[in-house]
Structure 1
Amino acid sequence: MKRAYLDNAASTPIRNEVVKVMTNTLKYSLGNPSSVQHSYGREARSILEESRICVAKNIKASPSEIIFTSGGTEANNLVLRSSILDLEIRHILTSQLEHPSVLQTILDLSLRYKISVNFISIDKKGVLDFNNMEEVLKKNIYKKTLVSLMYANNEIGNLLEVEKVIFLCKKYNAYFHSDTIQVVGNFPINVKKLSFDFATASAHKFYGPKGIGFAFIRNNILKKMKPLITGGFQEYGIRSGTENIHGIAGLSEAIRLSYCNSTSHIKKIQNLKSYCISELKKIIPNIIFNGLSSHPDKSIPSILNFLYPTKKNHLLYFHLDLMGVSVSKGSSCHSNLKKKSHVIQSITDKFLLNQTMPIRISFGIFNEKKDVDLLVEALQKIRK
């Protein structure tokens, strides 16, 4: 049976070159990177630090600003929790469209440490109201504030107007954290130029292994931070525990390869997305695309999200899977198929939501037009 994997925002296929690097590291690098007294340990340390340099180079950071983690969720937790404990943040400004690893962590922190939280107003396309953002920052100017906003939304693909956010953060002396998990390795990013204070990433979103990611933390902030995981001095004392050397080596190779051919990969995915939009319009009259996902310049190329006309049929995704098409309703962190995504609920009126099901298509470098054709064919069969 023909199959089309169109859920790359959840996890991407791992590249063969990455598998090779990881396999060689597992086979031949047996030392502990903290055991620098002997050659085995020094070899492992060399792999670790060369990987750190590679990651930093590709996002335009300093190697000392890269902290390896077990993935994006841990990286987001590290940033948010350390901000409260070490930077004395007492106010967080975010949006209702963030990933659960940000929203749930902020909720926990607000209850545990009595942190005040505000959500920036959004319109029906998921676009932030910057006047409201400035109003809230101005009102809380005497509180130490952290702004946490996703660079590219993982469900509707909206790209954050980062320059506007950074301008307001600087104006009101707020720290800025961005969940860049859908961006790193898939879209150009320059953390130095954009003046991020914190950014987070996960290797399995850019054709690397699962269970490994990193946090970018600006040097002047890193010096103020204390470890959340204690018992060692790994990762500049911020995250204790023996580093996952083969995972880190795989992450490094994945990010290197991603940015080697990023221009051609982005163009290919943009063309696939445009083709998919045109084909969907042919079979679904008055199709509604969620957020800005169908906008060529205001959304990340890899994500397209739309409402499929069907009343409360949560089996839609299974039907598509049986026909060989893998898509999702949104974030893979939502396991309840009957429950609508919090992102879609935030931007869609209830009546329309009860008449439709959201479908998130996310393209990757291994997709072709035939995958889109298979999706369209499957949707036509389901409608009949």
Structure 2
Amino acid sequence: MRVAMYWHNGRSLGHTAESAKVAHGLADSGREFNISGLTGAYRGLDLLPSAMDVVKLPAFTNYDNVSGWATRGRTAMEAGPLFRMRAEMAEVFLRHYAPDTFLVNHLPKGAEDELVPALNNTRGTGGRRILTLRGVLFDAEKADREYFSEDSARWIDQHFDAIHVHTHPDVFRLEDHYAVPGYLQDRIRYTGYLVDEFQMGKDAARAQLGVADGERLVLASMGGGQGALPLWNALIDALAKQDTAFDRVRLVTGPYLEAAAAEVLRECAASLPWLEIVSYEPAMMTWMAAADLFIGAAGANMLSEILAVGCNSVVIPRQVRESEQRIHARLLTDRRLVRMCDLPEVLSGAVASVLAEALREPLAPKAGHLLGGARRYPALLAGEDA
């Protein structure tokens, strides 16, 4: 089966990591899948299977600011010409590649409607189209406007054969929170969170990483890390007030953190013997298993990895213009699977008490029944009962 996967770009690693998990589920299944990616992402591509080809769209950057997204091309192109070029490239690729299955992540029309020409021009060619969603999309008003208004829902109805949702219905169902029309509800399949339960325990993870027995380790990551310096400063201040409760903090800045901000953190670490800074960690789940406490952004991908590892965590919804992370984190907090500290509380210093409680009374979440979505993908694409 010839599979194409689109994810638009992203300010972080979330969409890339989500797509990579699906791709690995296909590539590692023992079945014959030829997989190509179509994306503007420019970080984290090492997460993809080695046999997966990637058609790289020219990338854009944007920022989650109160004042707006400030989208611009990394090649210094204005947004209009950039997305016209991306649309032409997508249309040419899909017309010639002619995938048996086309997976479109998150945006039914692509970023700035860049998939519209391709989806219109290749309809009826025999390939199957699947819209993949992370589960919680936005607040109800925005999600209904972007996905389930009459025009938006009819577009999905006309251009997609199925909707795969990468969460478990015991946690979140689109139909319960959004105005999903009846003609789309039968197309929804809940895969479960994409990851499988992580099989390495704390002792084995520490032995593999060289973490000493008894060392009290805190791990922190904000995903891709774009614009995270104020958050890191607040967390470091909060941790410094209780530095007798741990021995080491390993802070993973993320590959999208701005260079000047990364330099500020390196200078900070030089004066704090317990703080170490790394920009990227490919073995993140192993470090999560080894840590006594994990502090992470509340993106859908990171939440799924927390559930897979079953680690003691404090999660921070760090979105400014959207509420998806806050909604999702609250659902898991209510189930005692994570602790949540909202962004305003972190920036005001209130996170210190949450971290102290997490170190004093660690959570040990069990969520295996919510997992395994990527492993189910081969059967789903083959039309089997997964």
What TM-score comes out, normalization by structure 1 length?
A: 0.31
Instruction: With a CA cutoff of 8 Å and minimum separation of 6, indicate the structure with the bigger relative contact order.
Output: 1
TM-score normalised by length of structure 2: 0.31
